[in-house]
Amino acid sequence: MDDPEAPFPAQPPPDAAADWTVPQAWADYSAAEHAMWDQLFARQTAILGDRAAPALLHGLDMLSLSNGGIPDFAELSERLKALTGWTVAAVPGLVPDEVFFRHLANRTFVAGRFIRTPDQIDYLPEPDVFHDVFGHVPLLSDPVFADFMQAYGEGGLRSIKFGALQRLARLYWYTVEFGLIRDGAGLKVYGAGIVSSHAESIFALDDPSPNRIGFDLRRVMRSRYRIDDFQRTYFVIDSFEHLLRQTLETDFAPLYRELDTMPDLAPEVVLETDRVIHRGTQAHASPPDAT
Ligand code: HBI
Ligand code: FE
């Protein structure tokens, strides 16, 4: 998961370029590391067939992501660039916000080079290559989502000048990381934090505990989120076109001023004005005391 409050080192590590990218050194991955990718890939694709947004499944296919070990970013970038102009670059871990936003604005998605170890299979503090490449990259093959991610990067750079980075981080969190999308009469997952997590791929759609609320830009930018547990609320977009349009058509300066006059919202809150798709029981948040 990516938490903008995470402590960032001030300077790039010694083997990194000024933009914090490093060689992926694909030849250095061990058989065990490739096997970890295959295990994660098989586990997620076994349950995402009827849970993931069609554009995400299509992206996995278009980019030939498979259980053939950790992808080589150079090959992956060639395929992705031909589709939407995006490329994938390796970084050692979380990078400072401004660096991250600048890469997105330049259509470069920075992906962790490392892969989690067996003891981290269900939770890790920093995005690894499976979270970033399996979770985030497939949707970058979708032209509309690809445009949204670049617009998001440009907006992120501007938000730093307004001191509104946290608002943008919330937008990213409740869409790119933990977003749900309507699909016919049902809901599908598209957020990378869900897509790369076995348990949350099930929890986010099936569990009665969390709220599921129609996406609204102001609402999301006021909403705090959990970085250490399943989300208390998932926001549902109608389409990637709708998400892109809201981002492009919004004048963020007056919006930030308006939001600064309103209190933040706790993650589990439901407002009268919310488009409530499911009002959660929040049972996961406060399970009955073990008797
Ligand atoms: N760095 N490598 C990396 N990956 C991220 O997703 C990331 C980051 N730095 C900052 C950041 N995300 C956040 O600022 C965004 O989630 C808003
Ligand atoms: Fe992420």
Give 275's contacts (C-beta < 8 A, 6+ positions apart).
213, 214, 216
Q: Give a yes or no: residue 1 inside a domain.
A: no
Distance from chain centroid for Cα 32: 26
Q: Which ligand is nearest to the CA of 109?
A: 1
Which CATH number characterizes residue 35's domain? Answer: 1.10.800.10
Distance between CA atoms of residues 172 and 52, nearest Å: 18
Q: Give a yes or no: residue 245 inside a domain.
A: yes
Residue whose Cα lies nearest atom 2 of ligand 1: it is 94
Q: Give a yes or no: residue 260 inside a domain.
A: yes
Looking at residue 124, what is its pLDDT? Answer: 84
From 73, 94, 159, 168, give the residue whose CB has the most ligand 1 atoms within 8 Å, as the site to mutate: 94
Give the number of the atom of ligand 1 that is nearest the alpha carbon of residue 93.
2
| C-alpha dist (Å) from residue 101 to 42, 152, 204, 217 | 31, 8, 27, 19
Q: Give a yes or no: residue 9 inside a domain.
A: no
Backbone angles phi, psi at 211, to 5 degrees: -75, 150
Q: Give a yes or no: residue 149 inside a domain.
A: yes
Q: Give a yes or no: residue 115 inside a domain.
A: yes
Domains: count for the chain = 1
Give 93's contacts (C-beta < 8 A, 6+ positions apart).
112, 114, 126, 127
Residues of the chain with confidence (pLDDT) below 50: 1-2, 291
For residue range 227-259, list pLDDT tens digits in order: 989 999 999 999 999 999 999 999 999 999 999
Query: Which residues constitute the domain of residue 264?
Result: 26-278
Residue whose Cα lies nearest atom 12 of ligand 1: it is 2
Q: Give a yes or no: residue 17 inside a domain.
A: no
Looking at residue 8, what is its pLDDT? Answer: 63
